[in-house]
Amino acid sequence: MIRRAFTAAFAGIAPEAWAGRDVTEVYKAARSDVFKVCPRIEVPLRPGESVLLHRMAIHGVAPWAEGAKAAPEGRAIAYFRPCFDDPALWLSAP
């Protein structure tokens, strides 16, 4: 669903010009559609664990559970996105 939305948003635009295209509203609409039809799956992790998701997967962080605590240094989440020499490959499968 996300790939389909971005493919439509970038249709007719040269890949090297994609960085100038604001897809905020496209993404918000697609994300809303995903939430309507796809079940939410929680992936509980303990401190120090990680998870790898497909670049088109909708993801987020749920509110902390009652009584949850962070280490003194706090809580951090790092997101890494793939880089491609050809931006059009970003929309390719897988």
For residue 43, CA distances in Å to 4, 8, 59, 61 come to 25, 30, 10, 10
Judged against a pLDDT cut of 90, whether residue 65 lies above it is answered with no
Domain boundaries along the sequence of the chain: 2-91
Rounded to an integer, the average pLDDT of 61-88 is 83
Residue 41 has pLDDT above 80, yes or no: yes
Q: Is the pLDDT of residue 64 over 80?
A: yes
Q: Are 25 and 49 in contact (CB under 8 A)?
A: no
Average pLDDT over residues 32-37: 96
Q: Do 49 and 33 contact (CB within 8 A), yes or no?
A: no
Selected residue with higher pLDDT from 63 and 9: 9
Examine the pLDDT at 44 and tell me if it is beyond 90. Answer: no
pTM: 0.79
